[in-house]
Structure 1
Amino acid sequence: MMRLRIFGAAALLLAASLTSVPTQAQATSPTCTSSPQRPAGMQLSWHDEFGGRALDRRSWSTVMDFPGRAGGHYHNTSYGSYAVDDNVVLSGGKLRLVTDNKPVVGTDPAGTYQYTEGFISSHDKFSQTYGYWEICAKFPAGKGLWPAFWLIPQDRSWPPEIDVAEWFGSIESMHSGLASGTWPDVRWDSHWATGLNPTTGWHTYGVLWSPGHITFTVDGKPTSTITGAQVPDKPMYVVLNSGTWANADRGGPPDATTPFPNSFDVDYVRVYSAR
């Protein structure tokens, strides 16, 4: 696996100085305002433009496979929603991860769930150590909604976890950060951002990850940086999901004002590595 050889302020500089990608796979998106970008000196290693009629099962799974999940379709009690394949929709060259308030009787784990969500991951399909990871997306608005773009280790360990863009609709705030350490002594390096308007337009959300250094970006501009030995150095894979928050904190779960069905819409996901 190739590794970036970028340290300290150099990583931040690289994230800030993006260059266009003149390849067919990188054709200009009609959704994100600027031409698709990548850090200089890197190459596309994996991507999905979601141009097909159905999810590409060579790239994605719809079953959860990481610590902390109660089953293959439900993560833990912070979640109010159960993942179902019908909520993963490809339409008009976009991925739509739908959240709905139609109760479902689940089997994995067994139970009745008020809400359903769409969930996909690249576990066992694609993973990489370091690089630049980006989506072009539009998030749904509404109380209790909790869509996210995050990275989890291929080896099924936890922590670490890299949250690239995690939207909490009740408090209209975007979380990005890193979980590290050893369970149950988990360290969270978190950044909260408001005023990004992720629900009213299309934007790119990215993470530049190198040895000892993580920089988060929105529309190619750095928003926060994490440095230190807690930065992971193992292969990780992509998770994209919609869904709802179940707990009373962070604004609480959905209520009568929350629009259903709604969707977390993704135009593309692209991952780059050092040349």
Structure 2
Amino acid sequence: MSTNVQATMLATAALGVALSVSPAPAAAAPTFTDDFNGPAGSAVDQSKWRFETGDNVNNHERQYYTSSTRNASMDGQGNLVITARRENPNNYQCWYGTCQYTSARLSTAQTFTQRYGRFETRLKVPRGQGMWPAFWMLGNDIGTVGWPGSGEIDIMENIGKEPGTVHGTIHGPGYSGAEGVGAGYTLPNGQTFPDGFHTFAIDWAPNVIRWYVDGNLYSTKTPSDIGGDRWVFDHPFYIILNLAVGGYWPGDPDGSTPFPGQLVVDYVHVTTSDTAPGGRTGQVTGLAGKCIDIAGANSANGTAVQLYDCNGTGAQQWTFGTDGTIRGLGKCMDAAGGGTGNGTQIQLYDCNGSGAQRWTVSSAKDIVNTTANRCLDVTGNNSANGTRLQLWDCSGGANQKWTTP
């Protein structure tokens, strides 16, 4: 044991903190990234996405999926645009006869699969009766075990007749189709999803999947939610982006449906698992009964970690991993710049295994950065919303006491 580590352990023990020295955690590293920055009219990157073409008789959808840039291409402004078009006449044959619509369905089945992690997109859905955009995943063993044995995770589905609501659902053996297990999220104050871009994500770890909209945690599913049926979310899945037209669930388009309809995708990002084995997740309350909060529910590196009224959103859901990290929105609580001195501000940052992201909770309810040997502190003992958190010498004050999950 080095002299520095031994000194840190002794100093921490004097504060009543139980410190364990363990290997640095694996980083929550990006594993798949597409920001769709190609020139206007260009095709998707074939090293990341492949087209799935044809029609879908099983759902009674009305479109034919093509590989044409008329149906999927870059807009030159950093977006992928999947376009559903009314076609009359059309040379494609669908289950019901000559196809009336074309669209696109993109998949990573041949290019990328992953078990566990954070899967996130920012996109804007189209408006109109019969529109059915989706960001979802299927198990990579579907070719051998079939559906629903392979499992399906719907990260975001929207149907045009419900413009203010999206759905997150899992399907597996005994809970598929209309029996899928999930929940909906409705925007407040009559807002609708076609009005602008929104962020949709899941955090997927062993025996748990959590769904978020704009950083708001709205659904958590575990094996206890599927009524004794088999949990099949324990192997790699691949990603699908598509815009369907019609089907049993959304119903067919009608005279009010605008065409072309467009699903506009800003990005798709995937990182490794957000949850360390044995982690526990929930709100962390402190001074004046307020919560540790990620400012603006923004997952960008450098976002302030602050004190704020507890509101149950995903910006206030923290996972305490057995690896010493404290994680939220797929990233880690971090001492800015690797600082160890008094006043070092606390931020959100990519998990990287550094000492700036190593924490322990004492029996006295302190949260201590084990590298700095300093406590998580509410700046100036100020309970106002938006007060930044910082590192400071552990003093036993109320602004350093936290109730953790």
Range class of TM-score, shorter chain: 0.7 to 0.9
Query: Match for residue 88 of structure 1?
Result: 72
Q: Which has the higher contact order (CA 8 A, sep 6+)?
A: 1
Which digits, 9 at most, give the CA deviation of each residue in 1:74-119, with x for residues without a partner? 2334311111122011112210000111143326879421111121
1:163 aligns with 2:163: no
Distance 1:43 1:267, change over 3 A: same
One-letter code aligned to 1:124: Q
- Matched residues in 2 for 1:187 and 1:237: separation? 22
Higher helix share: 2
1:218-233 equivalence runs, <5 A: 218-228=213-223, 230=231, 232-233=233-234
Task: Give 5+ residue unaligned stretches, structure 2.
Answer: 1-25, 224-229, 274-351, 353-405
Query: Partners in 2 of 1:262 and 1:113 — Cα distance?
Result: 16
Seen in structure 2, the aligned counterparts of structure 1 residues 174 and 233 have a Cα distance that, compared at 3 Å, is same
1:100 and 1:202 map into 2 onto residues whose CA distance is: 21
Distance 1:272 1:169, change over 3 A: same
**SS of equivalent to 1:85:** coil
User: Does the 8 Å contact 1:83/1:116 carry over to 2?
Assistant: yes
Q: For 1:208, which of 197, 200, 203 is the aligned residue?
A: 203
Q: Distance in 2 between matches of 1:111 and 1:60?
A: 29
Residue correspondence of structure 1 range 32-181 to structure 2 within 5 A: 42-52=28-38, 53-63=42-52, 72-75=53-56, 76-86=58-68, 87-92=71-76, 93-103=78-88, 104-106=90-92, 111-156=97-142, 157-159=146-148, 160-172=151-163, 173-181=165-173
Q: Give CA deviations for 1:198-252 in whole Å, capped at 9, x if unaligned.
A: 21111110011111100000112211110116251111011000121233x54x2
Give 3-state SS (helix, strand or coil) of 1:181's partner.
Answer: coil
The size of the alignment, in residue pairs, is: 226
Counterpart residue type for residue 182 of structure 2: S
Q: Equivalent residue of 1:199, what SS?
A: helix
Contact (CA 8 Å) 2:136, 2:155: kept in 1 or not? yes
Provide closer, same or farther for how the CA distance between residues 184 and 201 of structure 1 changes in structure 2, counting only shifts above 3 A: closer
| Superposition map of 1:11-30 within 5 A | none
> For the Cα contact (< 8 Å) 1:146–1:166, is it kept in 2?
yes
Is the Cα contact below 8 Å between 1:212 and 1:231 reproduced in 2? no
Q: TM-score, normalised by structure 2?
A: 0.52
Structure 1: gaps of 5 or more residues: 1-39, 64-71
Contact 2:62 2:94 in 1 (8 A): no
Compared CA separation, residues 264 and 164, structure 1 to 2 (3 A): same
Q: C-alpha distance in 2, partners of 1:116/1:253? A: 14
Asked whether the 8 Å contact 2:93–2:99 carries over to 1, the reply is: no
Larger-gyration structure (1/2): 2
Q: SS in structure 1 opposite 2:268?
A: strand
- Is the 1:60–1:120 contact (alpha carbons within 8 Å) kept by the matching residues of 2? yes
Letter in 1 for 2:29: Q
- Identity between Structure 1 and Structure 2 (%): 32
CA distance in 2, matches of 1:205, 1:216: 8
The residue that corresponds to 2:236 in the other structure is: 235
Q: Bigger shift: 123-132 or 191-200?
A: 191-200
Q: Distance in 2 between matches of 1:185 and 1:94?
A: 31
Tell whether the 8 Å contact from 1:105 to 1:111 is kept in structure 2 after alignment.
no
